[in-house]
A = this chain, B = another copy of it.
Amino acid sequence: MGSHYDALLQHLNDIHNLRMAAAVLDWDRETTMPEGAAASRATQLSVLARLAHEKFVSERTAELLEKAEVELNGADYDSDEVSMVRIARRDYDEAVKLPAEFVAEMTRLTAMAHGEWAKAREAADFAAFRDTLKRIVDMKRQEAEYRGGGEHPYDALLREYEYGMTTAQVKEIFESHKPALVELIAAINEVKDRVSDAPLRQPFDIAKQREFARSVIKAYGFDFSRGMQAESIHPFCTHFSRNDVRITTRFDPNHLNPALFGMMHEAGHGLYEQGVAPELDGTILDSGTSLGVHESQSRLWENIVGRSKGFWKWALPLLRKAFPGQFDDVDLETFYRAINKVEPSFIRVEADEATYNLHIMVRFELEQALLVGDVRVEDLPEAWNAKFESYLGIVPPNDALGCLQDVHWSVGLFGYFPTYALGNLLSAQYYAQAVKECPEIPEQIEKGEFSTLLSWLNDKIHRHGRKLTADELTRRITGQSIQADDYIQYLKDKFGEVYSL
């Protein structure tokens, strides 16, 4: 390749490495850093972010991009080179839209807002966060204007996390499966006593929890020579290279789920990052393509595999061995039902597969309403509770269990929530296709063999990194755009069996 492209690549790689360094500092903050270091770490992170941003929106980037575009004119769309330039152009055009002072102001505001939100949530006191949230919503409205594009102001915010997806499309796909969810949950509610999760709520030694969960994700294919697992208050996955993927776990000494299914979930994200093509390592393409596709991988390994009966045919005997005496009386059917208990609840992150997307729809609709002014920030708790009751049939007793529960808004993440639901839909859509192409997968899972599934995901999704958009990827893999049919079918099949509907 010519010298303009090489110069662009080197320039972008420098920026990428600054961002990866920031990611290491973030990881260290969440897993290791002493509390007294908070202020100095915030400074270090803001310097790295500013230097990376300045470098990226510089004249030099524009110049190198233009030259490389001319140089590569007519070359293969899928090639690393053309993809690199295309994605860099997309990122650049987006990044230059925001004035530096606006970015700095947003950084200051959200840095402060995060602490205020945490306190307000702890006290279940919405009023303590209200004025700050107002300022954030105002700034997000301003940001949507700066970013522009699309029919709805929300489009501009959504684009940051799910490029190529519009508000109208999300609305359509949400509407297309909401009735089925509501109907399914109602049917389950009629016979809710058929399932108990008591076996999962016992005292479990934490070292043994860690060992068992690690053995599961190792079997999935998570490569511990290119990744590692640590603890943090809020579980997450991060990466600094395809060869350096970190996941974290939260342990509950009296509940098996958070660590076990949490580690499967984060490992699903991790397998995506570990599977990016080596050629893309250290470049701006070295990452998952969208949050929705990312979440499809975590949900696939957590739920479609990890909460399947086939998986536990293999895993339950191992679990019995790991916790002697604690599962002796629990047969496969009972255990399978326990891990698939459905019950409308207040907290999104603890929601089951059937109710989860309804939690998202509440937020998706409120975010749009806040943005266009249909709901005022001061009326948010009321609006939240009304919508929550209409979708899930229950009313949060306080705002900590209601509109204050999630961190996202406090750190300025508007347009992010829908990707969780899109990920659920995609997980079923991709898995259905994988089984269509490799019908042996379910049988292999019953034997604790996951390599066919992982290879398929590597080949179809992971290796491309950021080269293809979520929609390009999904159409190439399944022949159609994202749809809810596979997910609804999956839920009906599973919960029909679990609840004998």
Give the B-binding residues of A (Cβ under 8 A): 13-14, 17-18, 20-22, 24-25, 27-28, 32-37, 39-41, 43-44, 47-48, 51, 223-228, 230, 240-241, 243-244, 281-282
Contact = CB atoms under 8 A, between A and B. Distances in A.
Chain A interface, >50% SS class: helix
B37 A17 contact: no
A314 B68 CA distance: 71
A225 B43 contact: no
A41 to B, nearest CB: 7
A308 B240 CA distance: 46
Given A18-B51, A34-B228, A40-B282, 13 more contacts: A17-B43, A17-B44, A21-B21, A24-B24, A24-B25, A24-B44, A32-B32, A32-B230, A34-B226, A34-B244, A36-B223, A36-B227, A39-B243
A96 to B, nearest CB: 21
Given A36-B243, A243-B36, A43 B223 contact: no
A360 to B, nearest CB: 34
Contacts of A18: 47-48, 51
A240 B34 contact: no
A34 B224 contact: yes
19 contacts: A13-B47, A21-B22, A21-B24, A21-B44, A21-B47, A24-B28, A28-B28, A33-B228, A34-B224, A34-B225, A34-B228, A34-B243, A34-B244, A36-B223, A36-B226, A37-B240, A37-B244, A40-B240, A41-B240
Contacts of A47: 13-14, 17-18, 21
Nearest to A48: B21
B225 A36 contact: yes
Contact of A37 (B21, B48, B226): B226
A40 B241 contact: yes
A243 B37 contact: yes
Contacts of A281: 40
Contacts of A243: 34, 36-37, 39-40
B28 A241 contact: no
Contacts of A227: 34, 36
Contacts of A21: 21-22, 24-25, 44, 47-48
A13 B44 CA distance: 10
Contacts of A24: 21, 24-25, 28, 44
A370 to B, nearest CB: 35
Contacts of A225: 34-36
A32 B241 CA distance: 15
Contacts of A39: 243
A247 to B, nearest CB: 12
Contacts of A43: 17, 282
Contacts of A51: 14, 18, 51
Most chain B C-beta atoms within 10 Å of own C-beta, residue among A14, A17, A51, A240 = A17
Contacts of A228: 32-34
Contacts of A223: 36
What 8 A-B pairs have minimum CB-CB distances, sorted nearest first?
A40-B241, A37-B244, A36-B226, A17-B47, A36-B243, A36-B225, A37-B243, A17-B44
Contacts of A244: 33-34, 36-37, 40-41
Nearest to A36: B226
A280 to B, nearest CB: 12
Nearest to A245: B34
A225 to B, nearest CB: 5
A279 to B, nearest CB: 13
